[in-house]
Structure 1
Amino acid sequence: MTFAGQHLALAQAYDGITRVVADLDDDALQRPTRCRGWVVVDLLFHLLCDAQRAMVTLASPADGPPDVDDVSYWRSFPPGRDGGDAARHAWWARRSAAAFDRPTAVVRIWADTAPAAVRAAGAADPDGHVATQGHVLRVPHFLATLTTEATIHHLDLVLDLPDAPPPGALAVRVAVAAMDGLLSDDAVRPGSWDDAEYLLKATGREPLTDRDRRELGEAAGWFPLLG
């Protein structure tokens, strides 16, 4: 995908989050998500931190060469690694979101921050490199990681929001490409899965059925990828 395409995918991913939360009231922002222990506003706060990280990262160019791309980046976050750190972050995000007077205050900050992150992405050098999470990536690959995370978290957000819009097609395409890249050599995505089911099952958010395991065979062991 071209740099322009990656930028558009990120814009679509972040706009999709905004469309989910923009009209939610305080009660709706406290509905459950697919992320253990987090309600909608907690997960939105986590995404807000990601958008803020994006702006800092994009404003701090790094020397190359890259040590990961938009696929291998995710292999540095295997399920179960540093479980204590993950639990601490989950608890920190919950307490931080709860510190606001009202959940809708987080929505307002997100609505200001997400478009700014997208603008920073569009102004970045497409041939440049950035450093984040202990890795160096090419700028387009960094944008792809942001899009993948936002798209999967979009699916997390809407667990108990049946009328919420789905993530955009281009953003989903980027996330699906990441999952495809993480597949083991002998794994083939079951043809019965649509993109949303693929993303949810590939990341361990939905369990594999007996039929899934039969279709995957020995390759079922590659699930979940991004738990």
Structure 2
Amino acid sequence: MSLELLRSAYGDLSALVGGLTPEEGWQPSGCAGWSVLDLTQHLLDDARRGLVALATPAGGPATTDAVAYWRSWQPSPEDDDSTAWRTRVRASVTGGLPHLAPLYAETAAAVCVAAGRADPGELVATQGWVVRAGDLLSTLAVEAVVHHLDLVAHLDRPGPPADGLAEVRRVLEELVGGPLPDGWDDATAARRGTGREPLTDADRAALAEAAGRFPLFG
């Protein structure tokens, strides 16, 4: 299941990025302070991380999983600023989307090939964690889907696949320990659950004390 989610998420993202114009690369994204080009660089970085992780076997036991991984992902504003600055510097010297788009596509395709060869239960290492390969694939797909929403936030381009959005919602509901408001579609759940959109008064009433835990990851 996680393999199909990843193939779907990465395939749609590769098609999206490959169809963007150089001018669209300078448009803002749904990540505050990040352009579409900056975010594409970040997506390439994450695909490379996935490729390295799938080739990095680890001893057990697992120290995180597809849900717990996100509990630790609460960067401070200082961390966000530092990451944004480093990403902007690297993105600015790449030659723009005409260079980054094919590089992202080939790297994403390589991740999917490596993922197809991995046993979902095998343990691999990433970012200081030990995780089962199947759970790693979920985290990669979730990140890709959330950032797909970010990429199209100010562009007239198609959003991420429905199966990927459903996985994001599943992870968010596991994190919050219950269902998200019925009035949220899966894209709204992804944006509000990760702080891309603020909670309304009605949301806070529906979530009760759980509202204080938002965003569930950044």
Bucket of the pairwise TM-score, normalised by the shorter protein: over 0.9
Q: Which residue of structure 2 aligns with residue 69 of structure 1?
A: 65
Between 142-151 and 215-224, the greater mean CA deviation after superposition: 215-224
| Aligned amino acid, residue 126 of structure 2 | T
Aligned structure 1 segments of 4 or more residues deviating by more than 6 angstroms: none
| Aligned amino acid, residue 125 of structure 1 | D
Deviations 1:4-59 (A, max 9, x none): x1101001111121122211111011111011211111101101011111111101
| In structure 2, distance between residues paired with 1:79 and 1:90 | 12
Deviations 1:130-157 (A, max 9, x none): 1111110011001111011111111111
Q: 1:1-227 maps to which residues of 2 (within 5 A)?
A: 5-80=1-76, 83-162=77-156, 164-184=157-177, 188-227=179-218
1:169 Cα deviation from its structure 2 partner: 1.9
Deviations 1:72-107 (A, max 9, x none): 111112253xx3333211111111010022332111
| In structure 2, distance between residues paired with 1:188 and 1:121 | 30
| In structure 2, distance between residues paired with 1:102 and 1:216 | 42
Count of residue pairs the alignment pairs up = 218
Between 118-127 and 194-203, the greater mean CA deviation after superposition: 118-127
- Aligned residue for 1:137, secondary structure, equals strand
**Cα pair 2:20 2:97 within 8 Å, conserved:** no
| Aligned amino acid, residue 174 of structure 2 | G
Unaligned runs of 5+ in 1: none
When the two structures are superposed, what TM-score results if normalisation uses the length of structure 2? 0.95
| In structure 2, distance between residues paired with 1:126 and 1:190 | 32
| In structure 2, distance between residues paired with 1:223 and 1:37 | 21
1:194 Cα deviation from its structure 2 partner: 0.3
| Aligned amino acid, residue 48 of structure 1 | L
**Cα pair 1:29 1:104 within 8 Å, conserved:** no
**Cα pair 2:180 2:189 within 8 Å, conserved:** yes
Deviations 1:58-81 (A, max 9, x none): 01111111011110111112253x
Deviations 1:173-209 (A, max 9, x none): 221211111014xx54111110000110010100011
